[in-house]
Each structure stands twice: as C-alpha cells, then as structure tokens.
C-alpha cells in the first residue's frame, strides 16, 4: 500500500445516498454521485470515478471496519430506510 499523506485540511463529506452510478466509457470504472438528504431533497456532495477492482478492494476494507461495530444493529438501521 502506498504511503498516505494527510494534512488535516482534507474536506469531510457527509453522505447518506448513492444518487446515481454509471459505467465509464472504458467499462472498467464506475462514476458515482454521492449525496445527502437535506429537507427531503438530495443534495449532491461529490462525484467519484473508481476502477471496479479498486472499489472491490475498498469494500473489503469496509467489511473489516464493520467487524468493529455491532453489525446487527447497523443492518437493522440500514434496512429501516
């Protein structure tokens, strides 16, 4: 894994929804729009383009992070939406 350099000034986006996703022209990446629901409306926060293989690797990291929380309670909350 490459070294990660953080300055402490990186923006932090709070998102609750994947507003849309589409494959890129190459077919090996996804373009995804992440949004947050504000007063009943979706507000786009950022768009990311991620290689599918990198997205799969990120999901594995998320799974490890979820193992540190009560996954059952998290799942109940997610299913309520």
**For residue 9, pLDDT beyond 70:** yes
The pair of structure tokens assigned to 41 is: 């409306």
List, for residues 47-60, the tens digit of each pLDDT value. 999 999 999 999 99
Which pTM was predicted? 0.73
The pair of structure tokens assigned to 47 is: 């768009």
* Neighbour tally for 35: CB within 10 Å: 19
pLDDT band at 78 (very low <50, low <70, confident <90, very high): low
- CA distances to 11, 30, 64 from 41, rounded to whole Å, are 22, 24, 32
């Amino acid at each position: 894994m490459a070294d990660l350099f953080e300055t402490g000034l990186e923006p932090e986006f709070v998102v609750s929804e994947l507003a849309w996703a589409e494959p890129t022209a190459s077919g090996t990446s996804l373009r995804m729009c992440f949004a947050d629901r504000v007063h009943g409306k979706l507000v786009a926060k950022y768009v990311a383009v991620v290689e599918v293989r990198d997205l799969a690797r990120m999901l594995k990291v998320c799974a490890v992070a979820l193992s540190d929380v009560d996954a059952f309670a998290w799942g109940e909350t997610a299913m309520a939406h």
